[in-house]
Amino acid sequence: MESEPTAELIRAQLRRLRLSADLTQEDFGKLVHFSGSQVSAIELGQRPFDRLFLKRADEVLKSDGLLSGLLRIAELHGQPNWLRPWLDAERNARQLRCYHPTLIPGLLQTEHYARAVIQSDDMLSDEEVERRLAVRMDRQATLAQPSPPALIAVIEETTLRRADESFRSIMAQQIGHLLEYVKRGGVLVHLIPAEATVHVGHAGPITLARGVEGEWLGHLENQVGGTTIDRDEQIDTLLVRWEGVRSVALPKGQSEVLMKEVMESWSTI
C-alpha cells in the first residue's frame, strides 16, 4: 500500500536514479523484468509499485536501499496514531519485556507464522495482509541493530502446541527460530508449562520497554487497537504483573529443553 506524499517522493527518486544511470525506461524495465510502459506507468503514478519492484530497482540502480527504505518509512508513518509512540519506544529501548497469552511475540515471529496470524482476520484484504506483514518484519530490525535491546519473552507452552496438522511445519520452524535467537544471545525465552495454574497474565498481553535513561513505557493491545502506557502508577502495576507472569515460567535451561521437545513433536512425521 502506497502512502502520499511519500509515494510521490519514491517515484521522483526512481526517475532521478534511472536518469542518472543513463537508462531509458525500456532498458531499465528489462533489468527489473518490467516492460518500458510498465515503468512509465509507475513513474507517473498510474501503476502501484511493491516491495519486490523497489528491491530490484535498488539493486539495478545501486542506490544502497534508498527506495526500499523510503517505502519502510511510508509504511511506518502509515501506522495508526496510537501505535507510533510505541514503535519509537520499541526501536530505542535498552530492554524489552513481552508476554502474550496466546501468541509468539511479534518481534520473534517467523514470516510464515506472522502471515498465518495476520490472515486469521478475515476482514483484511490480501494487500493489507502483506502490508501488515512487511511492517511486522521490518520492526524486527530492532533486534539486528549494532546495540539491540535485550529482549525477555515469556511464552505459554500451550501456544507452541496450539496448531493442527497443516500448521506442523510452520510451528516447527517457529520454535527453531526461537531457539536460534536464544543461542545467539541477547534474547531470553521462558516458557510457562501447560500444567501451570491460572495466573495474572491470562488477563491479557503485557509489553514493556525500558529507555536509555531507565524510564519505562508499556503497551497494551486489544481487538481494535492499543494503548501506550506512561503514567507511573500504571507502569508500576504492569511491572508487578510482569513479575507475576515470569514467576510461573520455567528457568532458561528448562525452557530450552521444553522448546526442543515441542519442536521434535512437530517435526515427527
Res. 269: pLDDT tops 60: no
pLDDT for res 212: 86
Higher pLDDT, 13 or 224: 13
Cα–Cα distance for residue pair 229/206, rounded to 1 Å: 11
- Measured from the Cβ of residue 210, the count of other Cβ atoms closer than 10 Å reads 18
Q: Report d(CA 125, CA 114) in Å as an integer.
A: 15
What interhelical angle do 6-20 and 66-77 show, nearest 10?
Answer: 180
61, 13 in Cβ contact below 8 A?
A: no
Main-chain dihedrals φ then ψ at residue 157, nearest 5 degrees: -55, -40
Q: Is 15 helix (H, G, I), strand (E, B) or coil?
A: helix
| Distance in angstroms (rounded) separating the CA atoms of residues 236 and 228 | 14
Residue 250 has pLDDT above 90, yes or no: yes
Residue bearing the bigger pLDDT, 162 or 210: 210
pLDDT range class, residue 234, cuts 50, 70, 90:
very high
Asked if 259 and 175 count as a contact pair (C-beta separation under 8 A), the reply is yes
Angstrom CA distances, 81 to 63, 146, 225, stand at 31, 28, 10
Residue 206 pLDDT more than 90? yes
Instruction: State which amino acid sits at residue 66.
Output: L
Cα 117 to Cα 74: distance, rounded to the nearest angstrom: 23
Task: Give mean pLDDT, residues 151-168.
Answer: 91
Arithmetic mean of pLDDT, 177-202: 94
**CB-CB contact of 193 with 259 (8 Å):** no
Distance CA 242, CA 100 (A): 11
Cell numbers placing 265: 513433536
What pTM does this model have? 0.71
Could you read off the pLDDT of 113-123 as tens digits, one per residue?
999 999 988 88
Nearest to 226 by CA among 211, 248, 206, 196: 206
Residue 198 CB neighbour total at 10 angstroms: 8
C-alpha 68, offset from chain centre: 16
C-alpha cell at 171: 510451528
The cell for 230 is 506512561
Rounded distance, CA 166 to CA 63, Å? Answer: 41
Pairing of strands 206-210, 95-100: antiparallel
Distance CA 77, CA 72 (A): 9
User: Where does the pLDDT of residue 2 fall: very low under 50, low under 70, confident under 90, or very high at 90 and above?
Assistant: very low
Q: Pick the range with the lowest mean pLDDT from 91-100, 128-137, 169-178.
A: 128-137
- Distance, CA of 9 to chain centre: 25
